[in-house]
Homo-oligomer: A and B are copies of this chain.
Amino acid sequence: MNRINTLREKMAGLELDGMIIENPINICYLTGIQAEGTLIITEKDNLFITDGRYIEELNNSLTIDDEILVLSIHTLEKEEYFKIFENCKKVGFEEEYITYAEYTNIIRKYRIKEAIETDGLIEKMREIKDQNEIACIEKACNITDSCFLHIIDYIRPGMSEKDIAIEMQKFIIENGADGLAFDTIVASGENSSKPHAMPTNRIIQKGDAIILDFGAKYKGYCSDMTRTIFIGETTDEEKELYEFVLNVQTRAFNKYKNNADCMEIATSVQKELYSHNFNLIHALGHGVGLEIHEKPVLSTKSNYTLKQDMVVTNEPGIYIPRKTRN
């Protein structure tokens, strides 16, 4: 209930009399409930409206201390929806989550008098992780670390990108993860300059650069690892470029401090890349937690400040089209 109380304080600051929460990740974060449904906070009550699939489980798992009243969509009458926010003037909603169609629907369904955008209120709470959350992310990171050590030993010329991706996925699920944080990327040779390519049947050859981008999920929390490896010998030019990016990353890492400005860090990385005629074609980093991409964003346009106990990535990259070796 601690997180709901924090939310209530923030709602008071925005003069909200109620809030309607549809994002299942936010609902799970606030209540621990893993079910489809709508969480409603009013001045008096916390309601969770769900359907028949979840009622039994929730009635078994929630206790009176959770202070959440579970209601079934099958028994709620039209008029009862009107009553929920009857005494609320301003009702907050998740404008970055609900669709335009859902927005028009909730206004009608609950007869909301004034629907207020909340500017990622709960997502902002999620930026700062508690010790339990950090432990889960560390565990997910340990699984990806082990997976990386395993896969660099496993990869041989003659395998396809898909073979490698399958082996990585097997390793991750067999080593304690709930599942993958996102679809595994294995991009080799000419594919390696396409930073979001799906694994193909392309056969790994000696001299290939391979980009691995993968993550595990542990108790709902994600990890995110990107590595570039080379098969066999590398050219001096490749070594030099690799060292250059690694140094850029290390210098950026040293700027990841409490109260650091995200835009400044990203801009300094972009300058370094520019000075070598490269470009920062995606954000430098992003928060990681219950979702693989969370706030804050570290980009040249992002308006965020790093804080103690945020968990963020640091992933500068350069992509050189059509550079193949023969």
* Residues of A participating in the B interface, judged by any CB pair closer than 8 Å: 34-36, 51-54, 56-57, 93, 95-104, 117, 166, 169-170, 173-174, 178-179, 183, 193-198, 279, 281-282, 319, 321
- Contact partners of A279 in chain B: CB under 8 A: 52
Residue of B nearest to A279 (CB): B52
Contact B101 A99, beta carbon cutoff 8 Å: no
**Assembly CA distance A311 to B264 (angstroms):** 51
How far is the CB of A242 from the nearest CB of chain B, in Å?
Answer: 20
Q: What are 27 inter-chain pairs, A to B, with CB distance below 8 A?
A: A36-B196, A51-B282, A52-B279, A53-B194, A53-B281, A53-B282, A54-B194, A54-B196, A56-B193, A56-B319, A57-B194, A57-B197, A93-B100, A95-B99, A95-B101, A96-B99, A96-B100, A96-B101, A97-B99, A98-B99, A99-B100, A100-B100, A100-B103, A100-B117, A169-B169, A170-B170, A179-B183
A294 to chain B, nearest CB (A): 16
Further contacts, 17 of them, CB under 8 A, given A53-B282, A96-B101: A51-B281, A52-B281, A53-B194, A53-B196, A53-B281, A56-B193, A57-B197, A93-B100, A95-B99, A95-B104, A96-B99, A98-B100, A99-B99, A100-B102, A166-B173, A169-B173, A170-B173
Docked Cα-Cα span, A56 to B187, in Å, equals 14
Inter-subunit contact A53/B100 (CB<8 Å): no
A293 to chain B, nearest CB (A): 11
A94 to chain B, nearest CB (A): 8
Cα of A102 to Cα of B57 in the assembled complex, Å = 35
- Chain B residues near A57 (CB, 8 Å)? 194, 197
* CB closest chain-B residue, reference A178: B198
Residue of chain B at shortest CB distance from A56:
B321
Known contacts A279-B52, A281-B51: A198-B34 contact under CB 8 Å: yes
Question: Which of B51, B95, B174 is close to A100, meaning CB atoms less than 8 Å apart?
Answer: B95
A133 to B178, CA, bound (A): 31
**Given A51-B282, A52-B281, do A35 and B196 touch, yes or no (CB 8 Å)?**
yes
How far is A21 from B193 in the complex, measured between Cα atoms in Å? 27
CA of A96 to CA of B102, assembled, Å: 7
Distance between A150 CB and nearest chain B CB, rounded to angstroms = 15
